[in-house]
Amino acid sequence: MMERAVSPDGVIPVVNGEERTVAAGSTIGDLLRELSVSADAVVVEHNREIVRDRTRLDSMVLATGDSVEIVHFVGGG
Amino acid sequence: MTESTMLAAATDTPFVIAGRTLRSRLMVGTGKYKSPNEMVRAIDASGAEVVTVAVRRVNLNRDTDDGVLPHLDPSRYFLLSNTAGCYNAADAVRYARLARAAGFNEWVKLEVIGDQDTLLPDTAALLEATRTLVADGFVVLAYTNDDLITALRLEDAGAAAVMPLASPIGSGLGVLNPYSIRTIKHRLSVPVIVDAGVGTASDACITMEQGVDGILMNTALAAAGDPVRMAHAMRLAVDAGRQAHLAGRMPRREVAVPSSPSVGMLE
């Protein structure tokens, strides 16, 4: 792993394949709001587990190294 | 023809998959259109009810929003999510579960691709993923090659429909092996929907004349010069091919047989 300048207040989850620094204590719900993504329009997978109940997003606290995938439907055949 | 004669001529059995009656035998994809507006108009012209979509990461840089749902009225279309781009059973199962979590339905157009150049399916992985997803409560529509034995195994594995290709995805080569498609249709109890390879209206018509239950296409519409007009043509071609199949074609002969009487000719 590369050395990173981690803010003492920040954690760095990997969101859609990219590291993103968020404030310590942030939930996935906070992350979505920060990204201006409507939770109703997406499906979230946290550490390979699908969050079926969207009301849980506001209680799922992020940690450094967490994997978060935010997906939706695009055109396809 | 009077109206009642026309209605009688158009009579068909309902097209049912997993207990759901579908109003069109033509299913369409939503990929590769020049604009969402063109896509919406083409789908409308096609008359399709089942519309396929793919699962991808949201673009978090927000300069473009490639989400397709804002353009599709969920009361009008039945969304069929695919697992396109998956090269093993585990990935396909993961994508199917993500799609189901969106909350529309439990259907999946299952693709497990085995080769990047041809996009032909990995049939062993497809069977494995089919078993896993059926056990998990999915309605699986399995995209496969035109191989009867794989089609039979998919049916045994619980696939709700089997979707043999006419020719490779996006190739537009039409039905390369009508015999295989006919044989699969004859032998399976579940619906057979030809998926991929149709290039133009005559391909769709020939496909439906083999007796299959439906066709799914995307590129034939999206890559046409005028996708909306081609969608209209495909709608007519699917209907025409279906009606021709139900009517039963005349036998092929190697010799000419006159259509006009041979008696009553002048001396």
Predicted confidence (pLDDT) per residue in B105-131, tens digit:
999 999 999 999 999 999 999 999 999
pLDDT-flagged residues of chain B (< 50): none
The verdict on residue B266 lying in a domain is no
Q: Indicate the pairing of strand B20-22 with strand B15-17.
A: antiparallel
Q: CA B192 to CA B212: how far, in whole Å?
A: 5
The verdict on residue B234 lying in a domain is yes
The answer to whether B183 touches B149, Cβ cutoff 8 Å, is no
| pLDDT recorded at residue B130 | 98
Q: Are A75 and B98 a contacting pair at CB < 8 A? A: no
**CATH number of the domain to which B123 belongs:** 3.20.20.70
Domains of chain A, by residue range, sit at 10-71
Q: Are B218 and A74 a contacting pair at CB < 8 A? A: no
Residues in chain B within 8 Å Cβ distance of A72: 55-56, 58, 67, 69, 102
What CA–CA distances, in Å, run from B79 to A57, B58, B256?
25, 18, 49
User: Which among A36, A42, A73 is the nearest to B68, CB-wise?
Assistant: A73
Q: CA B218 to CA B160: how far, in whole Å?
A: 21
| Contact residues, A window 14-43, toward B, CB-based 8 Å cutoff | 15-18, 35-37, 41-43
Q: Which CATH number fits domain A10-71: 3.10.20.30, 1.20.1440.230, 3.30.420.40, 1.10.260.40?
A: 3.10.20.30
| pLDDT recorded at residue B132 | 98
B197 to chain A, minimum CA–CA distance in Å?
A: 12
B9 to chain A, minimum CA–CA distance in Å?
A: 32
Residues of B tagged active-site: 109
| pLDDT recorded at residue B65 | 78
Residue type, B40: V
Which pair of tokens denotes residue B103?
Answer: 């909350």
A5 has a pLDDT exceeding 70:
no
B65 to chain A, minimum CA–CA distance in Å?
A: 9
CB pairs under 8 A between A and B: 94
The verdict on residue B141 lying in a domain is yes
Q: B185-224 b/e with 16+ CB inside 10 Å = b?
A: beebebbbbbbbbbbebebbbbbbbbbbbbbbbbbbbbeb
The verdict on residue B262 lying in a domain is no
The verdict on residue B78 lying in a domain is yes
Q: What is the pLDDT of residues A22-71, one digit of tens each?
A: 999 999 999 999 999 999 999 999 999 999 999 999 999 999 999 999 99
Residue numbers of the domain that contains B86:
14-58+70-247
Residue of B nearest to A73 (CA): B55
Q: CA B158 to CA B181: how far, in whole Å?
A: 20
Total of domains in chain B: 1
The verdict on residue B255 lying in a domain is no
Q: Comparing A16 with B5, which gets the higher pLDDT?
A: A16
Query: By the CB < 8 Å criterion, does B39 face chain A?
Result: yes
User: Which among B33, B58, B99 is the nearest to A16, CB-wise?
Assistant: B58
| pLDDT recorded at residue A3 | 47
What's the start-to-end Cα distance of chain A, in Å? Answer: 39
Residue of A nearest to B55 (CA): A73
